[in-house]
Structures are given as C-alpha cells and as structure tokens.
Amino acid sequence: MDILGVDVFEAVVVAVWAMLPAYVPNNVAVLAGGGAPIDGGRTWNGERILGDGKTWRGTVAGVAAGAVLALGLNAINGPNASIFGARLPDPFPAVVIVAMPLGAMLGDMGASFLKRRTGRQRGAAFPGVDQLDFVVMALLLTSLSAPGWTLRTFTLPVLTVVVVVTPFLHLVTNMAAYMVGLKNEPW
Ligand code: CTP
Ligand code: MG
C-alpha cells in the first residue's frame, strides 16, 4: 500500500525487523530478572539510584537475547532478501548486534533513574517514557556506532513507523505479560 509514494507495508516490515533486537531485551529481562540489583541498593537523595527492578541478571540476559536474535535474523537475511514481498534491510553490522540490545537496556535503566529522581517508586508508570525510552537509546547507540547503516535503514517513513508502532507493541506485550502473571503491572 502506497501513501504519498511511501510503501507503508515495507516500512512496517523494515521497522519491526530492524527494531526486534531492541524489543526483545526488556521482555527477556522480565523473565530472567532477579538477584542483585545493579545499583547495589545504593541511594541518592534518599531514593534508590535505579531500584530493585534493574538487576544484573535481567540486563545481561536481555542484552544476550537481543544479540542472539540479531544474529539469527542476519542468518536468514541475504542479498535482496524479502518477506511477503517487502525488501529486508541490510544485515545488522557487528557493532549493531550489541548496540541495539545494549541501548535498549540502557534506555530502560535511564527511565528508572528518572523515575527515582522524580519520586516514582518501582513499578510506577511514566507514560511516554516507559514506551519509548529503549527506542531512543537503542537508536542513539546504533547511529553512533554504525551511522551509514542507520541512515540507510531508518528512513523517515521507517522512523515514523517505529515511533507510532513501538508504544502499541510495548503496551500489548506488557499487558500479556501481566495477564499471565509474569509482570506485576500492565505497563
Ligand atoms: N528487569 C531486570 N533488569 C532490567 C530490567 C528489568 O531484572 N534491566 C526485571 C525486573 O524483575 C523488573 C521487571 O523485569 O521488576 C520489569 O521491568 P520494568 O518494568 O522495567 O521494571 P520495574 O520493576 O517496573 O521498575 P522501574 O519502576 O524501575 O521501571
Ligand atoms: Mg515497570
């Protein structure tokens, strides 16, 4: 489907494909989380630096899962590869395989840092920030480490799709994780 000369379907396929290594880490962290918190229990101005919701185990597992997924996507990608007729983006460069999931986890941590500074307790919602924190950081690290690939992959239509679709995907997956008892809050 073309809108103003933009193949919307292809933009959605590229957006989801390219962002998958950033989408998966948060969900894997929920499954793997627990154990020692990254801030070691330390506080700043009476509030935890990050809180008990950011653990070493969850973070390492999340980054590893995102990287393995990126490798898997690269394995099924190739020159002129397409799915459902939509052309796939160029394979993830080696640095991006790490930058994407690491950025996602750092963005999520940055949000927790901001939540604690603004008096929000663990699990409190921070609308807007909760849905896009990981996207912003993942894209920032990725564009710094592989500017050429980032510009080629995240065209304006693709970026637009990412910003519109990500909050929706985030809400749906977190709602599902809440309903099956994996998460304490539906956001
Ligand atoms: N988690 C983790 N390590 C991370 C991110 C998440 O262990 N880096 C796990 C924690 O068990 C956390 C759960 O995933 O409780 C849900 O993640 P999230 O909603 O990001 O954390 P919250 O507990 O809601 O804490 P915060 O208010 O700081 O976001
Ligand atoms: Mg939360």
Distance from the CA of 166 to the center of ligand 1, in angstroms? 18
Higher pLDDT, 6 or 34: 34
Percent of the chain with pLDDT over 90: 91
The Cα 145–Cα 23 span in angstroms is 19
- Average pLDDT value over all residues in the chain: 95
pLDDT over 90 (residue 2):
no
Query: For the ranges 2-16, 20-34, 110-124, 142-156, which has the lowest average pLDDT?
Result: 2-16
Q: Which ligand sits closest to the CA of 37?
A: 1
Q: Whose CA is nearest to atom 13 of ligand 1?
A: 30
Q: Are 161 and 15 in contact (CB under 8 A)?
A: yes
Report the nearest atom of ligand 1 relative to the CA of 120.
Answer: 27
Every domain of the chain and the residues it spans: 2-179
Residue 180 one-letter amino acid: V
For 8-17, the pLDDT digits (tens) are: 999 999 999 9
For 71-120, the pLDDT digits (tens) are: 999 999 988 899 989 999 999 999 999 999 999 999 999 999 999 999 99
Q: Whose CA is nearest to atom 24 of ligand 1?
A: 123
